[in-house]
Amino acid sequence: MAVVVSMATFMEVLDTSIANVSLNHIAGGMAASLNESTWVLTSYLVSNAVILPISGWLASVMGRKRFYMTCVALFTCSSLLCGLAPTLGWLVAFRVLQGIGGGGLAPSEQSILADAFPPQKRGQAFAVYGIAVVVAPAIGPTLGGWITDNFSWRWIFFINVPVGILSLVLTYHMLHESAQAIAEHRAAIRGGIKVDYIGFGLIAMGLGCLQVVLDKGQEDDWFSSSFICAFALASAIGLIGGILWELTIDKPIVDLPLLKRRNFALTNIVMFSMGFILFGTTQLLPQYTQSLLGYTATQAGLMISPGGFCVMAMMPVVGFLVGRVQPRYLVAFGMLVEALAMYNMTHFDTQVPFSTLAWARVYQAFGLAFLFVPINTAAYSDLPPGKNNNASALMNLSRNLGGSVGVSLANTMLFRRSQLHQNILVSTPSMSGPEYLNNLHIIAANMVRQGMNSSIALQHAAAVINNTMEKQAEMLSYLDVFRFMAGASLMMVFVALILTKIPLGRKMAAGH
C-alpha cells in the first residue's frame, strides 16, 4: 500500500523541478519571454504553498481517502490541461490547479502511512515515502531535459496522466480508511462544518505572497522593487495576522498548537533544513556544472542522478534502523554527513572531473537518507489522538518552505558574493602588476602567431583574462554557498541531539 499511495506523490514532487530545464522551450513555444515563462514555476509553488497548511483540515472534513483521491484526480486532469494549453496564460492557470491538487498529496500520504502501519513498521513505510520526496527532485531536471530534447516540453505534463489514472484505480481498490481516520472525519463534521474563512484567507495570503517574494526576489533585485516590497508587506500581514488569529479560536484551520510539543517543533525545524539543503543543492550543482564546466542539461542531470540511487538503496536500511536506534542519533548522524559532504564541495574548482562531482553528490545523498524517516518517526511519536492529518500538513509545509528559502537564498548569495569577489579581484594590485602584464602579453603573442593583429590581440587577451577572473569570482561564490550550507547542517546536529527519546520497537507508542 505504501507504494500505491507514493506513486502520485512522486509525480507531484517531480513537478516541482521537472519544468525548470524546459522554460526556454516553453517560452519559445508560447511566444513569450523567458522572464514571463518563470510564472509557470511560480504559479505552481504559490498554489502549492497555499493548500499545504489547510490540507490536514480538508482531509478530516472530506474524509482522508476521498480527499486524497480528489487531489490525485485534480492533479491528473490539470496535468493533461497543462500539456494541451494553447497560451502561456492558460498554462499558468492550469499550473495553479495542478499545484492545488498536488499540495494535498504528500500530507495525505504521510498521515495515511502513519495510521495504516503499526509503530514498529512505520519506519519502513516512511522509507518508501521518503524515496518519493527525496529522489524525485534529484531526477526531475534530468528527466525534464531528456523529455524536452527528445519529444516536446508538453510531455513533461502528459507523463503524469497514466500514472495518475493508475494511482486512482489502485487507491480505490486497495486503500481503506482506518478507524482513526473515520473518527477524525466524524469529529470534524460533528455539529456541522464550520470554515475558518478568516484564518484561511490570512494564511493563504501570507504564504502565497511569501512564495512570490522568494521566487521573484533575486530576479527583481529584492526590496529595491516596489512589486517585491508590496508582496513582502502583504506576506507579513497575512502570516502575523494568521498566526495570532489561529491561536485564539477554538477550531483553527491550521493546528499551530501542535508546535508547542518539543519533538514536533524541533523536527519541523530539521525538516525545514533538510528541504533547504536538498532543494538548494539540487538547484546549485547543475547550475554550477552548466555555467562553469560547460555541461549540457542532460550531463548535469546525470551527475546528480547517482545520488538518487544512493537514497533508494539506503532508505530501507534506515527504515530498519529507525526501530532499533533513537531517531535523534540517526538525524544527528545524517546532518553531520551533510555538513562534511558540503565541506567537501568547498574544494571544487573549474577543472573538477565528472567522477568527483558524482561521488560528492553520492556522499551528500547518503546523509539525506538518514534524515527523512527518522525525522518523521520522531515527529509522530507523541502526537495526541486525531492529529496526524494536521501534523502531516505542517511537516510538509516546513519541507516545502525550506526548499523555497534554500533555492532563493542560494541564488542571492551566488549573485552578491560573485560581485564581491569580482570587486576584490579587480582591485588587487596584481591586476596591474608585472604578472598580469606578462600573462597579457603571452596570450596576445599566441593570438598574433595565429594571424591576429597585435592591437586587437591585446584587446582579446584582456577579455580572456577578464572572463577568467569572472569565472573565478563565480567559482568562489559557489564555495561560499557550500560553506554556508555546511555550517547550517552542523547547527542542525545539535538541534537533533536535543530531541527527546522515544520508545523503540514493539513498545513504541502509537502516536495517535
479 neighbors 348 (Cβ within 8 angstroms): yes
Cell numbers given for 117: 502501519
Backbone phi, psi, residue 39, to 5°: -65, -15
Kindly report, residue by residue over 401-418, the tens digit of the pLDDT.
Answer: 888 888 888 888 888 888
Residue 433, helix vs strand vs coil: coil
Residue whose C-alpha cell is 499550473: 95
| Per-residue confidence in pLDDT tens, the chain, 512 aa | 566 667 777 777 777 667 766 766 777 777 777 666 777 777 787 788 788 778 777 877 777 788 888 888 999 999 999 888 888 888 888 988 888 888 877 777 777 776 666 666 666 666 777 777 767 776 776 777 777 777 888 888 888 888 888 888 888 877 777 676 677 667 766 666 677 788 888 888 888 888 888 877 877 778 888 888 998 999 899 889 988 888 888 777 777 888 888 888 898 899 999 888 887 887 788 778 877 888 776 777 778 778 878 888 888 888 788 878 888 899 999 999 999 999 999 988 888 899 899 899 899 989 988 888 888 888 877 777 667 777 877 888 888 888 888 888 888 888 888 888 777 766 654 555 566 666 666 766 777 677 676 777 766 666 666 667 778 888 888 999 999 999 999 999 999 998 888 777 544 433 33
DSSP type of residue 223: G
Q: What is the pLDDT of residues 423-466, one digit of tens each?
A: 776 665 455 556 666 666 676 677 767 767 677 776 666 666 66
Give me the half-sphere count of Cα atoms (radius 13 Å) on the Cβ side of residue 465.
20
Query: What interhelical angle do 388-427 and 39-51 show, nearest 10?
Result: 140
Rg (CA), the chain: 24
Which residue matches cell numbers 502511512?
113
DSSP, res 451: T
Quick one: residue 353, left, alpha or beta (phi over 0 = left, psi -120 to 50 = alpha)? Answer: beta
How is the chain split among helix, strand and coil, in percent rounded to 5?
80, 0, 20
pTM of the model: 0.76
Residues in the chain: 512
CA end-to-end span of the chain: 20
The grid cell for 334 is: 545524517
